[in-house]
Amino acid sequence: MEKLPPNHSPEAFLADVFGTRLVRDGKVLRRSARDIERYFGKEAFVEEVYRRGFRAIENAGQIIIFCNREPVRILRPKEASKTRHEA
């Protein structure tokens, strides 16, 4: 995503994010949490994500948006979870 000018409206920001082919195809988007906060507001953005039936996660300053209604699972190797619980 291009850096948006500071006077970019919240509506234009949403149109830019959710108007992509990735969203239409039910894929995954990644956006900077800082940009989301600056241009739209994080809480309002999360509400919009869920209003659309999507899910999102945050890690290391990035918000990952799953643009579909499929479940999201954290994948872990079976042996790693056993070892952690035994220690």
34 vs 13: CA distance, rounded Å: 13
| Per-residue model confidence as pLDDT tens digits over 28-68 | 999 999 999 999 999 999 999 999 999 999 999 999 999 99
Confidence of residue 1 (pLDDT cuts 50, 70, 90): very low
Averaged pLDDT of the chain? 88
HSE (side-chain half, CA atoms, 13 Å) at 29: 24
- What beta strand segments (E) does the chain contain? 28-32, 55-59, 62-66
**Can you tell me whether residue 40 is helix, strand or coil?**
coil
* Domain range summary for the chain, segments of one domain joined by +: 10-70
**Mean pLDDT of the 18-25 span:** 94
Confidence of residue 8 (pLDDT cuts 50, 70, 90): confident
Phi, psi of 76, rounded to the nearest 5 degrees: -140, 145
28 vs 46: CA distance, rounded Å: 15
Indicate whether this model's pTM tops 0.85. Answer: no
